[in-house]
């Protein structure tokens, strides 16, 4: 068997191995991306819940800047698939007018 015949005989096996390796890397990356999105979503939900506690339950004043931050967090949270509980909390926060606080 000459060199070209050997290469042609081995090529499908090598190609299959490379393809399998790439698929495994893609699956791992997808799993990591899902985990990252899940962590970010959980942090967003916690931030909304903490704001609800502070501004609705405890009745503290909210600055315009803080309200804008919460709006950005809520929009990102819903983009990642956030649920209705945080939406209800955000809607109550949104209904409370932000204050310009000067200390």
Q: What is the pLDDT of residues 40-97, one digit of tens each?
A: 999 999 999 999 999 999 999 888 889 999 999 999 999 988 878 899 999 999 998 7
> Which pLDDT belongs to residue 100?
62
User: Residue 74, exposed/middle/buried by CB under 10 A (0-12, 13-18, 19+)?
Assistant: buried
> Which pLDDT belongs to residue 103?
53
- 25 pLDDT band, cuts 50/70/90, is confident
Instruction: Give one word for 81, left, alpha or beta, with left for phi > 0 and alpha for psi -120 to 50.
Output: left
pLDDT average, residue stretch 21-48: 86
Handedness of CA 40, 84, 46, 56 (dihedral sign): positive
> Which pLDDT belongs to residue 102?
56
């Amino acid at each position: 068997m000459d060199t070209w015949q050997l290469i042609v005989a081995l090529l499908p096996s090598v190609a299959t191995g490379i393809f399998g390796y790439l698929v495994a890397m893609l699956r791992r990356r997808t799993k990591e991306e899902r985990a990252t999105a899940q962590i970010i979503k959980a942090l967003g939900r916690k931030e909304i819940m903490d704001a609800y506690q502070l501004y609705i339950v405890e009745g503290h004043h909210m600055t315009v800047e803080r309200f804008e931050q919460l709006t950005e967090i809520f929009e990102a949270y819903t983009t990642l698939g956030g649920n209705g509980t945080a939406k209800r909390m955000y809607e109550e926060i949104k209904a409370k007018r932000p204050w310009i606080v000067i200390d």
